[in-house]
Amino acid sequence: MKTIYTVMVLMMANLVMAQNFEGVINMKTTNEEMKEKATLTWYLKGDKSRMDISSQAGEISTDYTIISDEKGLDMVAEGHVTAINKTALDLGLPTVTLLSEKNAVQMNGYTCKQAVYFDGKSQTTYWLTDALGLTFNDIPAIIRRNMPTIDSNGFPVRMEKRNAEGKVILTQEVVSTQAAKVEDSKFDR
- CATH number of 133's domain: 2.50.20
At 31-64, the pLDDT tens digits run: 998 899 999 999 999 889 999 999 999 899 999 9
Decide if 171 is inside a domain: yes
Q: Report the Cα–Cα distance between both ends of the chain, in Å, rounded.
A: 20
pLDDT at position 146, please?
A: 62
Say if residues 141 and 89 touch (Cβ distance below 8 Å): yes
pTM to 2 decimal places: 0.79
Note down the domain range covering 127. Answer: 2-178
Decide if 113 is inside a domain: yes
Q: Facing residues of 171 across strands?
A: 30, 160
At 89-120, the pLDDT tens digits run: 665 566 788 899 999 999 989 999 999 999 88
Decide if 188 is inside a domain: no
Decide if 189 is inside a domain: no
CA distance 135 to 12: 11
The single-letter code of the amino acid at 37 is: K
Total domain count for the chain? 1
Decide if 103 is inside a domain: yes
The single-letter code of the amino acid at 172 is: Q
CA distance 104 to 167: 25
Decide if 183 is inside a domain: no
